[in-house]
Structure 1
């Protein structure tokens, strides 16, 4: 009959060295096995002891396996969590770094484009302002140049009329030919009248024209009057027409002097 380890434990006692005093007394006592056999106690056999050992080993193995499994599982779980955390941290860091770099580059690109657009707008505004300034400068210069040219021409003509007063003769002759009407009244500056009468005596007599001295008429100009119309060939009027034809922007220019213009210029 097999016995468990608890029953077997009571059959064995720890060994102690015998006392020399008790050796003689025990010499006459029967052996423990003989006493046990005499009392009817059956000792385990070798096979039973081996079976008991194997059972204890298996139970110890099972208990150790369970404990080791639990400890290994806990340690493996902890290591797995740590490894997973480390790998997750690395992957998350790499992914976060890549996304952060992409977002940073996109943000920097957007900021750069915004700044570039602002600079382009500023440059366009500056260019437009410079163009307007250049246009105003050109207009101002054109007006100043035109005024200067008018003034130079006026002074040249003044000098020409002073040195060549006979130009009034060619003016009156041309007006008579273009008008063609008889009995015209021609108003002249008092100093120009003798020149015209002497040079155009025949033409005046043929057409029945009349010369009238008028101090209000500047030298070099005249007024031609008929019953139906008046031709203003005075210097200021002819000068304004000439300036308006050459420089339309200076059409409002007015002559400041009554010095006659070139009698051969323009058509009244």
Structure 2
């Protein structure tokens, strides 16, 4: 760092004899004014002077003067809102709100509709199952009745075509009695008497059974009486027993035959 030259000393002017003593004054060069400052009343308050006469910092150039506080800048007034933009924003907000509410309502409707349809379908299936079971029961009863009627017609036709089967009926009726039975009487229709006599006469004689024609016994049927039991082997009785085994009710005689 370059050293500063010492200030130059200027001797006062010589005073002549007879001149009045006056104040001494001289011009001070600028290089001798370094570090000097003007004095004023503000320096009494202790505030640091500003300007070119500010004090120097030790070992360096004078401190820069503090920057003056800038006046606060007022923000510009906000621009006036645009009516079109406000309308557009309001439309967008309304559209979004309406879309959201519409979707929520649609979801609620679909959920309610699905529950309603499920309940209706469930009730429909339940009713259909009940009706189907009832229909199956009715069909089963109808089929059973038809089957019984067909069987009755088949038996009738078989008795008409093969009347000799009554001999087998008489034999089975007598065999149903215990061997200890006495006074066995076998009653058959008069038209069936020769058929039974021919087909089962020897078996009846072995049981000491008496064969008796009886017009009250329908053709194809047999009634057996003994001292300890009786056997009703008529066609009507055997038919009723057969249809009862399958849960049906049917009479052997036709209404026309009953009326006659």
Partner residue in 1 for 2:196: 196
Q: Larger helix proportion, structure 1 or 2?
A: 1
Unaligned runs of 5+ in 1: 1-64, 259-268
1:153 matched residue in structure 2: 151
Q: Deviations over 1:167-220 (max 9, x none)?
A: 011111122233233332222222112322233333222322122333222111
| Structure-1 residue corresponding to 2:252 | 255
Where 2:211 maps in the other structure, the secondary structure is: strand
Q: Secondary structure at the match of 1:211?
A: strand
SS in 2 for 1:212: strand
Equivalent position SS for 2:176: helix
Question: 1:238: Cα distance to partner?
Answer: 0.9
Query: Which SS does the other structure have where 1:186 is aligned?
Result: strand
Q: Structure 1 257/213 Cα, relative in aligned 2: closer, same or farther at 3 Å?
A: farther
**What is the match of residue 129 of structure 1?**
127
Specify the alignment match of 1:235 in structure 2.
235
Q: TM-score, normalised by structure 2?
A: 0.58
Contact 2:168 2:199 in 1 (8 A): no
Alignment coverage as a number of residue pairs: 180
| Structure-2 separation of matches of 1:135 and 1:128 | 11
Query: In the superposition, relative to structure 1, how do residues 103 and 173 fare at CA in structure 2: closer, same or farther (>3 Å)?
Result: same
Tell me what 1:208 maps to.
208
**1:129 Cα shift?**
2.8
Give the drift of 1:125.
Answer: 2.6
Could you tell me how far apart the structure 2 residues matched to 1:147 and 1:98 are?
Answer: 72
When the two chains are superposed, the root-mean-square deviation of aligned CA atoms in Å is 3.3
Report the equivalent of 2:244: 244
* Residue of structure 2 in register with 1:117 after alignment: 115
Separation of aligned partners in 1, 2:188 and 2:170: 10
CA distance in 1, matches of 2:191, 2:169: 15
- What pairs with 1:32-43 in structure 2 (closer than 5 Å)? none
Name structure 2 gaps, 5 residues minimum. 1-70, 256-260
Q: Is the 8 A contact 2:168 2:200 kept in 1?
A: no
- CA distance in 1 between counterparts of 2:168 and 2:240 reads 20
Higher relative contact order (CA 8 A, sep 6+): 1
Structure 1 Cα separation of the partners of residues 230 and 94 of structure 2? 97
Query: 1:172 matched to which residue of 2?
Result: 170
Aligned to 1:117, the other structure's residue is in SS state helix
